A = this chain, B = another copy of it.
Amino acid sequence: MKTGAGRFFEDYRLGETLVHAVPRTLTDGERALYHALYPARHAVFSSDEFARACGMSSSPLDDLIVFHTVFGKTVPDISLNAVANLGYAEGRWLRPVWPGDTLTATSQVIGLRETSNRTAGVVWVRTEGRNQRDEPVLSYVRWVMVRKRDADATAAAATVPDLAAVVPSEALVVPDGLDFTGYDFARAGEPHAWEDYVPGERIDHRDAVTVEEAEHMLATRLWQNTARVHFDVTQRQDGRRLIYGGHVLSLARTLSFNGLANAQMVVGLNGGSHANPCFAGDTVRAWSEVLDKAETAVPSVGALRLRLVATRGEPFLLRDAAGKYLPEVLLELDYWALLPRRG
C-alpha cells in the first residue's frame, strides 16, 4: 500500500519527534490570497512603507499565514484521524516571516492519555516552525483526540503535560527593530493606543462575513492542509463540508480590525477552542474582550491580552449558565497582540 491511513493513537510514542512533510516557500502571492480571503487590513502587513516606519525592513507576512502554514504541515501526521481539535497553549511567534522564506515544521509528542472507553486518546504535541536558516519562527502546543486503530491495543501510561494557562508577557518576543515611536495612527485606521484599552472592556467589531464553500477550501488548500472533511462532501453523514477552524480564526482576527486596528501583531497564543463547527452559509461576526495588558522591553510597544470570539449570532454571547459554549459561538481565542504606546 502506497497510501497510508495516517497515524492512530497507539502509533504515538512519548518524546518522539515527527518531521512534517513538504517545506513551503511563502511569497507575495500567498499574502495577496490571504488579503482576498479575509478582510485583512492591519497596516504593518499591508504596506512596506508602514512597516519600514515601524522599524522593519519591509512588510512581513501576516502572523496567521505563518500559523496556518505550520499547522497545515502537521495535519497528515497529527490530525488525519483526529476526532476533535481540543486546544492550544504556549504559542509564541518568535521571528517575522518574509516573502521568500521557506518554512518547515516538526512536532514533539509531549503527552498521551487514552480515553476511558479505550477507543481513542488525547495526543499533545509541541510544534515548531522554522525558516530556511533553521531559526524558529513559531512554537505552540496543540492537543487533539485521535482514534485508535484497534481499541484493544495497549496504550502507554497516561502523561499529561503541565502547560502554562497564559504565556507570561516577559516571554513575548518583540520582533527585532520594531519601534512604534512616530506611529501614524491616521494611516493605521484608528486613534486608539495601548493606553486606551482597559481590562474588562468589550468591543463589538460590527462587520460580518457570510462564508462560501469556495473560500474556505481555497484557504485550507493554501496552507496545504489535507484534512478530508474540509473538501469532500462524502466524509460526513450530513453531506456538509466542515470549515477548517483556522479559517474562522483568520476571519475573526481580521474582522477585529474594526476596534483593534492598532493591535498590529499577534505574538502569543494562550489558548483557544473551536466551540462549534462552522459551515458555508454561516454569517460570522466577532467580538473581543481585553483580558490584560503589559509593557514590553520596547518602550513604544505595549502588549494586550485579548479574548477573541467568533460567533454566528449576536456579539458578547459566549457560554450558558452551565459554562457550555452557546451554539452560536464558533471560536474562543486567548492571545497577545502588540500595540503602539503613546509614550
Mark A residues whose CB is within 8 Å of B: 2-3, 19, 21-25, 27-33, 35-41, 43, 46-50, 59, 76, 99-100, 102, 104, 132, 186-190, 192, 196-197, 201, 203-210, 212-215, 217-219, 221-222, 224, 226, 228, 231-234, 241, 258-261, 283
Contact = CB atoms under 8 A, between A and B. Distances in A.
15 contacts: A2-B201, A22-B46, A22-B188, A24-B46, A25-B59, A27-B32, A29-B33, A30-B32, A33-B36, A36-B219, A38-B221, A207-B231, A208-B234, A209-B232, A210-B231
A151 B255 CA distance: 30
A25 B48 contact: yes
A33 B33 contact: yes
A248 to B, nearest CB: 15
A250 to B, nearest CB: 12
Given A27-B31, A31-B27, A210-B231, A3 B47 contact: no
Given A25-B59, A33-B33, A2 B46 contact: no
Contacts of A186: 19, 21
Chain A residues touching B, majority SS: mixed
A206 B76 CA distance: 13
A32 B35 contact: no
Contacts of A259: 2-3
A205 B231 CA distance: 14
Nearest to A51: B25
A264 B32 CA distance: 24
A48 B261 contact: no
Contacts of A208: 228, 231-232, 234
Contacts of A35: 221-222, 224
Contact of A32 (B32, B38, B217): B32
Contact of A21 (B38, B43, B222): B43
A210 to B, nearest CB: 5
Given A27-B31, A217-B212, A224 B39 contact: yes
Contact of A23 (B47, B190, B197): B47
A206 B5 CA distance: 9
Top 9 A-B pairs ranked by shortest CB distance? A29-B32, A21-B189, A27-B28, A214-B214, A23-B47, A2-B259, A208-B232, A3-B259, A212-B214
Contacts of A27: 28-29, 31-32
Contacts of A33: 29, 32-33, 36
